[in-house]
Amino acid sequence: MRTTEIMRDRRRIGDGFSLIETVTVLAVLAIVSAFLVSQGLSTDAVNAQADANTLKSHLRYAQSLAMNDLPTARWGVEIDGSSYSLVCDGDTCPDDIPVFPNESSSTISFSPNVAASPTGTILFDNWGSPGADDLPVTIDTNGETVETMTITAETGFIP
């Protein structure tokens, strides 16, 4: 190999982005990501999504209580808009309603500006079924729907 060929090969190895180019790209990415985060995630929407996930978990808990209880008791969740409670309906209900898992109460309040509809009681039988009709539950914040879950008729599937 000649000396000029060796010099050309070394220059190719050293080619790349300059420090200025790298800093410019990182600055543009930071600006774009800051804009997207500020536009896409409001605190209320994040709280509403967290509350929706917690409600799903608590509905599944009530369903499991119903499936593990005697056939004469039905367990469920009573939703009143700004909160919900674990309820039992039947002859074999305990005097003290248990608390939800990882909670200190059998009644949970939604975050501020978060609400659930429709209000009412969702009861599960010993098969985990909520009955013959699908039961939609909508979680919203400041009038905007964040999530709508539908508890499937007969099967009790909670998405």
- Domains belonging to the chain, first-starting first, are 3-40 (no CATH), 43-151 (3.55.40.10)
pLDDT value for 107: 95
Instruction: Give the β-pairing of 120-124 and 114-117.
Output: unpaired
Does the pTM surpass 0.75? The reply is no
C-beta separation of 153 from 130 below 8 A: yes
Answer whether residue 119 shows pLDDT above 90.
yes
Q: Residue 56: pLDDT band by 50, 70, 90 thresholds?
A: very high
pLDDT (0 to 100) of residue 19: 85
| Alpha carbon distance 60, 43 (integer Å) | 26
Please write the tens of the pLDDT for every residue from 74-100. 999 999 989 999 999 987 888 889 999
Assess whether pLDDT exceeds 80 at residue 33.
yes
Query: Is it the case that residue 20 has pLDDT exceeding 70?
Result: yes
